[in-house]
């Protein structure tokens, strides 16, 4: 038979400082007390996560039937000493100890919930945060606090007292006080628990394969499939990272593997994001632009876009993953970009102007246009570099798109109909009503002009030598504009001739001199 002594144990943490994560050690200052009965030495402890021997300084002692010992303890301890509670980007501070001599059959440490104030409304986390036990030099947040008793084992080493123990091990009562501190940063890994990471990872892989198969058959649902694939890819990355890192957080695995794995996933995040932006731009921008314009996207503009996406991803990896300064790199790339930009400045200007022309569509192929001061012509071709026209004289005119984009453009084919208002000059002696009636009648006999809206004449003005009339005709064939206009003027001329009305002739006086001879007068008649 044996007697089991119950020792009520409590801890109050005063300070956690001098944290060195490179060696996973820190300095812990705390109070430790015991309440017990009997003649035992509960303070004969072995600190399981101590870096160096720890001395207990007795602060208070009550030696009655119910004994009480209070100790002040300060020493260097290891972090993350219980593998079960290790988590990514979170560290475990605290203490773990057992009695050196008395096994579990003789001594059990029990948490002093009353003495530690665990029944109060204020939690231990809030208490530790209020007293600022965590060193401000460490950028972390206390996540939760845990104190509990469990069992630990030690080899019996053939001790006759424990020969009947199974597996030749001695069971000891162990007391643990844990303070979980997470990094003061937002991490998506915190949203997926380790227990669910494997299921989420496998489910994401299955659904991504299924969506890939569906995308081949149902391309019309690309937008929905793309969104779902993006979500599943991010879930796969998060869950696989949680799953791998939880396996690598172990005392027997070097930290180098954990750091390398974390860095690899950080690089993957940047690259996967760039790939999805690339895919989205191809479908939602470039393919739609090709359908709208009916022309393939120029390789120069497309390759520049791809280069910019992956260059930004590379800069992000260098600056945020490898934590290297990218100022000099950006400056160098800026100089290179300026040099390249100057070298292809005109080509870039023409390409992007062509892009604007294809989007705005101020004209189309087979439209009659007049661009700036160039001769009017019919559009034969619109590519990404230049616009080609065929003029009235049959010449081919090629205008760079940068010039087209900045010039005034008259599109004569944009509307279904257009008006011509040629001016004729009649002798002012003839009544305007009679002249207009003759012109209107002549216009009705021309089949090549539109009768709705009806053609008409307008008495414009009378000047010092003639009466001016507008001949207003509406056409729908700009290509044969000059031929139709010739027919109209011929018909009007014939009608006026039959009515004995002739166009006005402007006369001018020209004086000539022959030495000192008398000035002579010679009238010169010009038709205008």
Is 528 contained in some domain?
Answer: no
pLDDT bracket for residue 218 (50, 70, 90): confident
Mean pLDDT of 122-146: 85
Q: Are residues 226 and 201 part of one domain?
A: yes
Q: Is the pLDDT of residue 330 over 50?
A: yes
Q: Are residues 170 and 25 part of one domain?
A: yes
pLDDT bracket for residue 178 (50, 70, 90): very high
Predicted pLDDT at 343: 54
CATH number of the domain at 471, please.
3.30.70.100
Predicted pLDDT at 121: 65
Q: Are residues 181 and 201 part of one domain?
A: no
* Tokens 């995040």, residue located: 269
In order, the DSSP letters of 104-133 are: TTTEEEEE-TTTTTTTSSS-HHHHHHHHT-
Q: Is the pLDDT of residue 280 over 80?
A: yes
pLDDT digits (tens, 9 = 90+) for 368-396: 999 998 989 999 988 877 899 999 888 99
Q: Are residues 167 and 121 part of one domain?
A: yes
Which domain covers residue 481, as residue numbers? Answer: 418-498
Q: Are residues 147 and 265 part of one domain?
A: no
Percent of the chain residues topping a pLDDT of 90: 33
Number of structural domains found in the chain: 4
CATH number of the domain at 403, please.
2.30.30.60
Q: Is the pLDDT of residue 252 over 60?
A: no
Mark which of 343, 366, 385 sits at the end of a domain: 343
Mark which of 284, 319, 343 sits at the end of a domain: 343
CATH number of the domain at 44, please.
2.70.170.10
Is 175 contained in some domain?
Answer: yes
Q: Is the pLDDT of residue 517 over 60?
A: no
Q: Is the pLDDT of residue 85 over 80?
A: no
Is 245 contained in some domain?
Answer: yes
Predicted pLDDT at 91: 86
Predicted pLDDT at 358: 75
Is 520 contained in some domain?
Answer: no
Predicted pLDDT at 166: 60
The tokens describing 328, both together, are 């000099």
Whether the Cβ atoms of residue 243 and residue 197 lie closer than 8 Å to each other: yes
Neighbours of 527 (CB within 10 A): 9
Predicted pLDDT at 470: 93
Q: Are residues 422 and 394 part of one domain?
A: no
Q: Are residues 319 and 194 part of one domain?
A: yes
Q: Are residues 273 and 175 part of one domain?
A: no
User: pTM higher than 0.75 for the full model?
Assistant: no
pLDDT bracket for residue 275 (50, 70, 90): very high
Q: Are residues 136 and 32 part of one domain?
A: yes
The CB-based long-range contact list for 489-494 (8 Å cut-off, 24+ gap) reads 489/422, 489/424, 491/442, 491/443, 491/445, 491/446, 492/424, 492/439, 492/442, 492/443, 494/442
Predicted pLDDT at 111: 93
Mean pLDDT of 45-69: 91
Q: Is the pLDDT of residue 512 over 80?
A: no
Predicted pLDDT at 341: 63
Q: Are residues 57 and 13 part of one domain?
A: yes
pLDDT bracket for residue 274 (50, 70, 90): very high
Q: Are residues 278 and 159 part of one domain?
A: no
Average pLDDT, the chain: 84
Half-sphere exposure of 266 (CA within 13 A, CB side): 16
Is 517 contained in some domain?
Answer: no
Whether the Cβ atoms of residue 412 and residue 368 lie closer than 8 Å to each other: yes
Nearest alpha carbon to residue 292 among 227, 349, 356: 356
Q: Are residues 15 and 157 part of one domain?
A: yes
Mark which of 185, 205, 231 sits at the end of a domain: 185
Whether the Cβ atoms of residue 78 and residue 24 lie closer than 8 Å to each other: yes
pLDDT digits (tens, 9 = 90+) for 411-439: 988 888 889 999 999 988 899 999 999 99
Is 160 contained in some domain?
Answer: yes
pLDDT digits (tens, 9 = 90+) for 472-509: 999 988 888 889 999 999 999 999 999 888 888 777 66
Mean pLDDT of 211-240: 88
Is 506 contained in some domain?
Answer: no
């Amino acid at each position: 038979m044996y007697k089991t002594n119950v020792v009520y144990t409590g801890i109050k943490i005063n300070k956690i400082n001098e944290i060195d994560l490179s060696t996973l050690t820190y300095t812990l200052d705390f109070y430790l007390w015991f309440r017990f009965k009997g003649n035992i030495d509960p303070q004969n402890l072995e600190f399981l996560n101590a870096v160096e021997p720890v001395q207990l300084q007795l602060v208070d002692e009550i030696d009655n039937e119910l004994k009480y010992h209070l100790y002040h303890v300060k020493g260097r301890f290891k972090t993350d000493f219980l593998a079960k509670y290790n988590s990514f980007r979170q560290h475990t501070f605290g203490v773990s100890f057992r009695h050196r001599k008395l096994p579990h059959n003789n001594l059990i440490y029990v948490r002093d919930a009353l003495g530690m104030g665990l029944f109060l409304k204020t939690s231990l986390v809030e208490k530790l945060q209020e007293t600022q036990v965590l060193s401000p030099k460490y950028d972390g947040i206390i996540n939760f606090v845990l104190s509990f008793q469990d069992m630990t084992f030690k080899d019996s080493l053939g001790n006759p007292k424990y020969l009947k123990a199974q597996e030749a091990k001695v069971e000891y009562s162990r007391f643990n006080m844990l303070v979980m501190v997470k990094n003061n940063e937002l991490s998506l890994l915190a949203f997926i628990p380790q227990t669910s990471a494997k299921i989420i990872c496998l489910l994401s892989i299955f659904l991504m394969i299924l969506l890939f198969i569906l995308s081949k058959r149902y391309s019309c649902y690309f937008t929905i499939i793309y969104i779902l694939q993006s979500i599943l890819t991010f879930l796969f990355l998060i869950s696989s990272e949680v799953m791998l890192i939880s396996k690598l957080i172990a005392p027997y695995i070097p930290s180098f593997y954990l750091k390398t794995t974390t860095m690899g996933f950080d690089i993957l995040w940047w690259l996967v994001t760039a790939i999805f932006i690339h895919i989205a731009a191809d479908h939602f921008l470039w393919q739609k632009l090709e359908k709208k314009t009916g022309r393939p996207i120029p390789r120069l503009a497309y390759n520049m876009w791809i280069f910019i996406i992956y260059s930004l991803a590379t800069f992000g990896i260098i600056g945020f993953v490898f934590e290297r300064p990218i100022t000099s790199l950006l400056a160098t790339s800026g100089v290179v970009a300026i040099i390249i930009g100057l070298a292809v400045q005109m080509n870039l200007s023409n390409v992007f102007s062509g892009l604007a022309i294809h989007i705005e569509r101020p004209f189309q192929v087979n439209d009659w246009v007049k661009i700036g001061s160039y001769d009017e012509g019919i559009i034969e071709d619109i590519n990404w570099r230049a616009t080609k026209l065929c003029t009235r004289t049959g010449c081919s005119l090629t205008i760079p798109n940068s010039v087209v984009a900045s010039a005034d453009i008259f599109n004569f084919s944009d509307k279904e109909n257009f008006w011509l208002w040629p001016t004729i000059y009649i002798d002012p002696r003839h009544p305007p009503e009679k002249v207009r009636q003759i012109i209107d009648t002549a216009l009705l006999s021309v089949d090549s002009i539109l009768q709705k809206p009806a053609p008409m004449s307008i008495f414009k003005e009378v000047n010092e030598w003639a009466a001016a009339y507008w001949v207003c005709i509406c056409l729908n064939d700009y290509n044969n504009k000059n031929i139709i206009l010739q027919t109209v003027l011929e018909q009007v001329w014939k009608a006026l001739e039959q009515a004995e009305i002739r166009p006005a002739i402007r006369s001018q006086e020209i004086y000539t001199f022959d030495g000192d001879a008398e000035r002579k007068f010679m009238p010169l008649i010009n038709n205008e």
